[in-house]
A and B are shown apart, each in its own frame.
Chain A
Amino acid sequence: MNPLLRLFHQLGSPPTFYRLAGTLAPWCHAAALVFGTVALYGGLVLAPRDYQQGDAYRIIFIHVPCAWMGLFAYGFMAANAFVALVWRIKLCEVLAMASAPVGAAFTFITLVTGSLWGKPMWGTWWTWDARLTSELVLLFLYLGVIGLHAAIEDRRQAARAAGFLALVGVVNLPIVHFSVNWWNTLHQGRTVFVLGPSKIDAAMLWPLLVMALATHLWFFASLFVRTRAGLLELDGGKDWVRAVVLEGARDPLSAGTEAVHG
């Protein structure tokens, strides 16, 4: 077998991924905290005041990275749901379902921080603007996926049904992204461009990008933690799970389960 393909096969095996994710998760969380702290210092202390919005604009350093993560997590979930539906790869089912709550958290933060930014700048907490409405639909899609996955008893059927819903919801992603171009409403247009110059000063841009890196790391850390739980649940009767559960008595991460033993 081609070595790359073999690596892929090994990574896709639940026990291998379980161990790898367990090793990576704490490092990702720690790196996210370090980069997040640097970004906060840059954004809240070093970056100058905005000439129009004063200090209220500083919400941008969390609002925009979280909005990106809401979309990124949905794309990640849908891609994994697609692979899970087509090729029936168990790991992808678990990854898709594990990314839903994390993405929902980021989308929730986006909506709340946006509201807190909108009140002083637009004079309203909420308006049925195209960007705001499509972002709310994104949150409901996440909640729908989580709810559907929780409502069906058979874990694999649940993941398949919820994955299908996730795929249907992909239609909302371009609507969220392009809503500020398609409809001329209250939400401001894009500030940061991958191609071409961004419409923001460098002193404000770098904390934003570092925070985006931190939120990506946080997403993967949380994804790994949840994927581990999902893999254990799905492979409940297997030998490797039995080994993990029994060795877990010595595992400091699962100290809270001691009560079951005692």
Chain B
Amino acid sequence: MAEWFAMGGYAGYVWPAYAVFFGALAAEALLGRAQRRRVVAALRGRLKRRAARAAAP
């Protein structure tokens, strides 16, 4: 197992490469979901304001 982690002496290059791969893809997926939540929140706020204006005397 330790030998496998050592990657024949290239552990310092192989593992950071995989870390960047997973990190960048995870960040991209989370940002995409956050974007949708932001849009929905903004639209919901707009609808609420409109409803409040319509209800005002």
Contacts and interface: CB of A to CB of B under 8 A. Distances in A.
Interface of A: 29, 44-45, 49, 54-56, 58-59, 62-63, 66, 101-102, 105, 108-109, 112-113, 116-117, 119-120, 218, 221-222, 225-226, 228-229, 232-233, 236, 241-242, 244-246, 248, 253-254, 256-257, 259-261
B10 A55 contact: yes
**Which 9 pairs, one residue from A and one from B, show the smallest C-beta to C-beta distance?**
A55-B8, A229-B36, A56-B10, A55-B7, A105-B28, A225-B32, A113-B17, A54-B8, A116-B17
Given A108-B24, A233-B39, A59 B32 contact: no
Contacts, number: 113
B17 A63 contact: yes
B9 A245 contact: no
B33 interface: yes
Contacts of A257: 37, 40-41, 44
Given A105-B24, A222-B28, A225-B29, A56 B13 contact: yes
A58 to B, nearest CB: 5
B23 to A, nearest CB: 9
B8 A112 contact: no
A76 to B, nearest CB: 15
B43 A232 contact: yes
Given A54-B9, A257-B44, A113 B21 contact: yes
Contacts of B24: 105, 108-109, 112
Given A55-B10, A58-B14, A59-B13, A248 B40 contact: yes
Contacts of A117: 13, 17
A55 B28 CA distance: 28
A56 B12 CA distance: 10
